[in-house]
Amino acid sequence: MKDILALSSCIADYLETNGVGVQGVDLFIMQLPETPQIGTVLAMTGGPITSGNPTRNITFQIQHRNPSAEEGLRKATEINNLLNNQWNVVPGFPGRVESVSEAGIAFKDESGNFIYSLNYAVVSTTQR
């Protein structure tokens, strides 16, 4: 579990460094608070059960909330461009991030904001 938390922190750092948001302001880990209206959350989801080891080939989801469908899609696309098929996003982790779905509107929240969902796998090049 410690590795997963460290990994989520490193991915959030990478997103912040690349201008997606500021952690604790509009970029969050595990839970997206009710405010701000525009925000992004990173949630680690473990690995596929078939792998036998949920700390190998970890998956994660990013959700972006935005009242504007156009601006929300622009931000979701920006995030996807930063992460998809990128090698060594996490310092000391020999692997890459790959998208497992296209960015798209997952749903609208109770306030009418668009929620975009992006799903990724962190693929290790070594056995753990």
Domains (range + CATH), the chain: 2-124 (3.30.2000.30)
> pLDDT by residue (tens digit) across 52-92?
555 566 789 999 999 999 999 999 999 999 999 988 887 76
| Residue-level pLDDT at 128 | 44
Q: Cα–Cα distance between 99 and 81 in angstroms, integer? A: 10
CA dihedral 23, 24, 28, 33 (to 10 degrees): -160
List 14's β-bridge partners, or say none: none
Least Cα distance to 58 among 102, 93, 20 occurs for: 93
Q: How far apart are CA 11 and CA 122, in angstroms?
A: 10
Residue 119: pLDDT band with limits 50, 70, 90: very high
Q: What pLDDT, in 10s, does the model give residues 14-48?
A: 999 999 999 999 999 999 999 999 999 999 886 66
Q: What is the spatial distance between Cα 79 and Cα 108, in angstroms, rounded to a whole number?
A: 19
